[in-house]
């Protein structure tokens, strides 16, 4: 008998060789039906694989990541089986589970290409294979036998993968008529998959190497219930509806013109109003927290970036330097704000008492992103960072981190991002040679980041070896209304620039010391953040932020004068809006302004004019009834107050 410890600490005894499926069955038949894979002492097993020794186990269903992984991994094999049966002679690359579904990289036989027209037949075949409920079996074979098998199939991608594996046993998984090289784990049988569908096609280089052959990547998704697939497809539709490029056009926020240049956003008046409001609000918060605003030019002498090291590292792939009539003189479009800020720092002498120096700028930078990488406002060639640099003493790093974390938490909360994750990137403990800065400073900074995160209530994921060469960092990822993750804020420690620019301050010992520099941004860039905010809110911005809080709708032009009077009064309460005095009926005005996502519509006619009231309509809720101007102002102000209080 062996002892199996469940996640809750309870211990059950089974005969040696018991499988995950049998354990699940012994706990509950319902669980046995839903369980997909099992973790045995931190290794993930198939349910049919026997367990020979005492172990800690955890059973995985579709609702945890490990369960999904096995589910989608098996789905990828089904996709491959379907394609092989429909297009014999197809060669297969890799077919992993990904965050949302799975893909398989394939190479179709000569002269054959896959198009969206083939999706229906693939879907049909995949569903058929699932309904056959074929058992999935795992087989250990030798490397030589594995090579022989895939050579006989002519599958040179698989043989390449196998030949790079270590000697020893190799596992193959078979379901129905399809056998694939795979580490596993997989579902016990294909019947668990009740809904499966191809989603899209893309080209992908074999092993991500552009000098190698481009394969066809087929993306798909699958679920244990048909209804879940339907919901997923609805979510994809919803994501399309929320696409910031679409809403940006509808709400006239920004525009791209090929005549100006790709990746260069033109901010329209409404978008500018939104962005300016974000900037001025954040500036206010920065001032409260001891930051000082600075402004620096859009270009800088090439020598500056040579000193900072950016030119050497990125100059070739960047916008090329601008020549001047002077011999040998060149300027670069600013790719980073930090060298400029460093020069501001260097403009005077510092005592230890002057630190920390918190310097912030909404600084526009230019980076030559590759053509294919440009995407709406999220990937552009000119963008404005909400950048800040904090020059501090080593003993201040932790406190400064805490202050920045507090600010980031406040900003996220105020904008409705309640769900976010954080990640600390530390250096690779096995190889210190690739990092600049002393061991002592790194150790201190890494400790400071971890303590600060913990004291501020973050639960960061810690990634060792992910730090940049110049210092460790803390990144923030927010989850939007559709559950998608966006990387926004980041705080980075930098030992590199202080060294390259020879920054110093005078310590209590009357000696010069090198300050530590912290880079930090909250929004990342204004462009990207506005895009995320649009998709998160579907264009229904928080009341305090939205460019137009109210639109006044006179019933007919007889009441335009009353509307003008009301608008003036509302302005006294800092409520912003405009009058829709088009020659249209009230229903039309309501419809058009609802579509523009105006939070409050005020209907003004004879009744209202006589009683000095407003008929208030809230976006998405409809008629709230009549109110006095004072009452309405209170409604608005309360809603704004609540936004910042909860």
| Contact positions vs RNA (CB under 7 A) | 200-205, 208, 210, 214, 217, 245, 249, 256, 258, 262-263, 310, 314, 317-318, 335-336, 367-376, 468, 555-558, 582-588, 590-591, 594-595, 601, 603-608, 615, 617, 619-620, 622-623
HSE-up of residue 559 (Cα within 13 Å, Cβ side): 24
Residue count (the chain): 646
Nearer to RNA, 46 or 580 (CB): 580
Closest C-alpha among 411, 49, 83, 394 to residue 220: 83
513 as an active site residue: the answer is: no
Q: Provide CB contacts within 8 A for 176, sequence distance 6+.
A: 81, 129, 132, 134, 190
Measured distance CA(134)–CA(387) in Å, rounded: 56
Nearer to RNA, 7 or 622 (CB): 622
User: Which position among 217, 367, 379, 589 bears the catalytic label?
Assistant: 367
Contact 289, 358 (CB under 8 A): yes
Residue 88 C-beta: closest distance to RNA, Å = 22
Residue 325 C-beta: closest distance to RNA, Å = 26
End-to-end CA distance of the chain: 55
73 as an active site residue: the answer is: no
Nearer to RNA, 134 or 546 (CB): 546
User: Which position among 68, 513, 519, 617 bears the catalytic label?
Assistant: 519
Measured distance CA(277)–CA(301) in Å, rounded: 32
User: Which position among 68, 186, 310, 389 bears the catalytic label?
Assistant: 389
Closest C-alpha among 8, 138, 10, 127 to residue 70: 138
Nearer to RNA, 466 or 639 (CB): 466
Q: Which residue has the tokens 């962005």?
A: 275
Nearer to RNA, 40 or 609 (CB): 609
**Tokens coding 638:** 């309360």
Q: What are phi and psi of 349, to 5 degrees?
A: -90, 150
270 as an active site residue: the answer is: no
Nearer to RNA, 352 or 368 (CB): 368
Q: Please spell the DSSP secondary structure of 360-381, one letter per residue.
A: EEEEEEE----GGG-BTTTB-S
User: Which position among 473, 513, 528, 589 bears the catalytic label?
Assistant: 473
Residue 123 C-beta: closest distance to RNA, Å = 18
389 as an active site residue: the answer is: yes
Radius of gyration, alpha carbons of the chain: 30
Residue 253 C-beta: closest distance to RNA, Å = 13
519 as an active site residue: the answer is: yes
Residue 420 C-beta: closest distance to RNA, Å = 19
Residue 315 C-beta: closest distance to RNA, Å = 8
Find how far residue 267's CA is from the centre of its chain. 23
Closest C-alpha among 340, 413, 380 to residue 527: 380
Nearer to RNA, 24 or 80 (CB): 80
Residue 321 C-beta: closest distance to RNA, Å = 12
Nearer to RNA, 356 or 376 (CB): 376
3-state secondary structure of 103: strand
E strands within 17-61? 18-19, 37-40, 43-45, 50-51, 55-60
Mark 482-497 as b/e (b = at least 16 C-beta within 10 Å).
eebebebbbbbbbbbb
User: Which position among 385, 409, 450, 549 bears the catalytic label?
Assistant: 385
User: Which position among 105, 387, 475, 580 bears the catalytic label?
Assistant: 387
Residue 482 C-beta: closest distance to RNA, Å = 14
3-state secondary structure of 626: strand
Q: From the DSSP assignment, how many helices (H) and strands (E) are in the chain?
A: 20, 35
Contact 449, 401 (CB under 8 A): yes
Active site residues: 338, 367, 385, 387, 389, 473, 519
């Amino acid at each position: 008998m062996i002892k199996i410890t469940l996640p809750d600490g309870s211990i059950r005894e089974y005969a040696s060789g018991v499988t995950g499926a049998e354990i699940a069955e012994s706990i509950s038949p319902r669980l046995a039906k839903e369980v997909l894979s099992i973790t045995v002492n931190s290794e993930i097993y198939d349910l049919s694989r026997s367990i020979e020794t005492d172990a800690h186990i955890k059973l995985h269903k579709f609702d945890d990541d490990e369960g999904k992984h096995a589910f989608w991994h098996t789905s990828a094999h089904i996709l491959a089986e379907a394609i092989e049966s429909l297009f014999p002679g197809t060669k297969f690359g890799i077919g992993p589970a990904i965050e949302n579904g799975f893909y398989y990289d394939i190479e179709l036989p000569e002269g054959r290409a896959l198009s969206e027209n083939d999706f229906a037949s693939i879907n049909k075949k995949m569903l058929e294979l699932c309904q056959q409920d074929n058992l999935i079996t795992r087989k250990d074979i030798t490397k030589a036998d594995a090579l022989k098998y895939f050579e006989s199939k002519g599958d040179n991608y698989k043989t390449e993968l196998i030949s790079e594996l270590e000697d020893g046993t190799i596992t193959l998984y078979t379901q129905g008529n399809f056998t694939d090289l795979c580490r596993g784990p997989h579902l016990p049988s294909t019947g668990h998959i009740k809904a499966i569908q191809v989603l899209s096609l893309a080209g992908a280089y074999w092993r991500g190497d552009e000098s190698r052959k481009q394969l066809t990547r087929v993306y798909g998704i699958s679920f244990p219930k048909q209804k879940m697939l339907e919901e997923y497809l609805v979510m994809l539709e919803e994501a399309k509806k929320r696409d910031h490029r679409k809403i940006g056009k509808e709400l006239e926020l920004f525009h791209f013109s090929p005549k100006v240049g790709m990746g260069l956003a033109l901010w329209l008046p409404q978008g500018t109003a939104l962005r300016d409001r974000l900037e001025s609000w954040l500036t206010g918060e920065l001032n409260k927290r001891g930051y000082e605003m600075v402004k620096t030019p859009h270009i800088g002498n090439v020598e500056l970036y040579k000193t900072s090291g950016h030119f050497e590292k990125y100059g070739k792939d960047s916008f090329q330097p601008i020549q001047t009539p002077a011999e040998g003189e060149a300027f670069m479009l600013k790719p980073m704000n930090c060298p400029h800020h460093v020069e501001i720092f260097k403009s005077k002498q510092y005592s230890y008492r002057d630190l920390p120096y918190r310097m912030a700028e909404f600084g526009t930078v230019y980076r030559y992103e590759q053509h294919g990488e440009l995407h709406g406002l999220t990937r552009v060639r000119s963008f404005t960072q909400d950048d800040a640099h904090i020059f501090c003493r080593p003993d201040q790093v932790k406190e400064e981190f805490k202050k920045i974390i507090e600010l980031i938490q406040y900003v996220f909360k105020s904008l409705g991002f309640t769900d976010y994750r954080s990640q600390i990137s530390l250096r690779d403990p096995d190889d210190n040679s690739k990092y600049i800065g002393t061991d002592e400073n790194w150790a201190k900074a890494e400790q400071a980041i971890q303590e600060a995160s913990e004291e501020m209530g973050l639960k960061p994921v810690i990634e060792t070896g992910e730090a940049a060469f110049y210092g460790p960092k803390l990144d923030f990822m927010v989850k939007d209304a559709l559950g998608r993750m966006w990387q926004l804020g980041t705080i980075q420690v930098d030992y590199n620039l202080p060294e390259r620019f020879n920054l110093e301050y005078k310590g209590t010992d009357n000696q010069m010391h090198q300050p530590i520099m912290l880079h930090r941004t909250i929004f990342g860039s204004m462009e990207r953040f506005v895009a995320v905010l649009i998709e998160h809110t579907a264009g229904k911005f928080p009341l305090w932020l939205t460019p137009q809080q109210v639109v006044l709708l006179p019933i007919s032009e007889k009441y335009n004068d009353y509307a003008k009077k009301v608008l003036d009064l509302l302005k006294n309460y800092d409520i912003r809006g405009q009058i829709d005095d088009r020659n249209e009926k009230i229903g039309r005005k309501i419809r058009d302004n609802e579509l523009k996502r105006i939070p409050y519509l005020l209907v003004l006619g004879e009744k209202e004019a006589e009683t000095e009231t407003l008929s208030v309509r809230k976006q998405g809720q409809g008629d709230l009834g009549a109110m006095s101007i004072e009452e309405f102002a209170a409604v608005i102000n309360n809603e704004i107050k609540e936004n910042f209080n909860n």
